[in-house]
Amino acid sequence: MNTDTAIDENEFQQLKAEIEAWVRGPGEIWAERIEAEGDVPRELYEELRDRGYLSLAAPVELGGRGIPFPRYLELLEIVSRSHASIRMLVHVNNGTWRAMEPFANAEQRELVKKAVSGEVLVAFTLTEATAGTGADLRSTVRREGDTYYLNGEKHLITFGVKCDYWLLFARLEGTIGKDGTVALLVPNTGLPGAEVIDDSHTMGVHGTDHAILHFTDTPVPVSARLGEEGDGLKVALGGFLLPSRVSVAMSAVGLAERAQELAIEYALKRETFGKKLAERPVIQTYLAENYADIAAARALVLEAARAYENDAPDAAPLSSASKIVAVDMLARVTDKALQIHGGQGYWARNPIERVYRDARAQRFEEGTNEIQKTVVARAVLLDYAATHPTTENAEA
């Protein structure tokens, strides 16, 4: 975890202003190109890298800027008002180091530094078509000497086509639950038995590549393992998914703010029957509800971020709760923003159409709300059991 807490406020505000100017200027030009071409150009990745936007959150010793997590989220909030693929690049590159660094040996740490700098792209490779929680992983490895032989399938893997490495999770053959899970840094270099299928034709988040991966006795050196056998879910859940869920929640806040901005602009411009839409009570109600929704979600996201930064015992349920609240809020806000545009909003020439499509992806990014509610409910019940012991527990 990033332990740097000192930050020069003037420099930080300058950085915020710089990022906002980029999002509203070059970012919008890139957004139009991504939508037109259906691809994220390599030049965009290089521009984000050269500007340092891919290494905002990592500690200085890894080559990052050392910005504390809650303050980093203020920057991600701004980036998230841009195209979803731009947000995805910034979000993922500023997060994968969290999973890798605590478990990396000296050699792997050099790879982590390259990931932080943007020299290499690492794709988080957990999701499977027939598994949903992580503990039910079906991809397996069989160890023979110094080599694992990997078998299984992954899908919905963001950057899985173009990445340099897959941060991949599997289990030792014959194990169940979290026991026997492993995390592997697998190079995307045409390994024997590895098939990469481009599955990038999506409703929204155009330009970001997504992969289906098939592995058949694909050899992976044991030296590619992060941590020990049995540490796989620790790498995945605590290192990446917990803070990443908070990041996704803040990205929902940022995109909702963009939707609200577009709705306000349109309401102030559009006239019907001699009145601006902004003068009509029903439109004012929509805008007021959106404002309250966004403000409430943002407050919870920042509380969850501080809990994570401080290793608070309720960091995990707050992480999931913030995502539940924020993505549900985003659905309501974008729906009302589109409704304010009327039929015009349904046409791709208007930015709200893209915002509306992009917003839907966050409902299942880093775990569906159904899974998040399971996490929160489990924590609530465990907390109650710990603070309200039954007679049987007391006697025990």
Reference 242, options 314, 175, 291; nearest CA is 314
> What is the C-alpha to C-alpha distance for residues 173 and 364, in angstroms, rounded to an integer?
29
Residues catalogued as catalytic: 366
Give 260-263's long-range contacts (Cβ < 8 A, gap of 24+): 260/287, 260/290, 260/291, 260/294, 260/333, 260/337, 261/81, 262/337, 262/341, 262/350, 262/351, 262/352, 262/355, 263/287, 263/290, 263/336, 263/337, 263/340, 263/341, 263/352
Q: Which residue is associated with the tokens 């030296």?
A: 223
Residue 3 carries which DSSP code? -
Amino acid (1-letter code) at residue 207? G
CA atoms within 13 A on the CB side of 393: 7
From the number of C-beta atoms within 10 Å of its C-beta (0-12, 13-18, 19+), residue 102 rates as middle
Distance CA 66, CA 91 (A): 15
Q: How many CB atoms lie within 10 A of CB 353?
A: 18
Residues 6+ apart with CB under 8 A from 273: none
Measured CA to CA, the distance from residue 54 to residue 45 in angstroms comes to 9
DSSP state, 152?
E
Report how far residue 167's alpha carbon sits from residue 247's, in angstroms, rounded to the nearest whole number: 19
Nearest-angstrom CA–CA distance, 260 and 337: 6
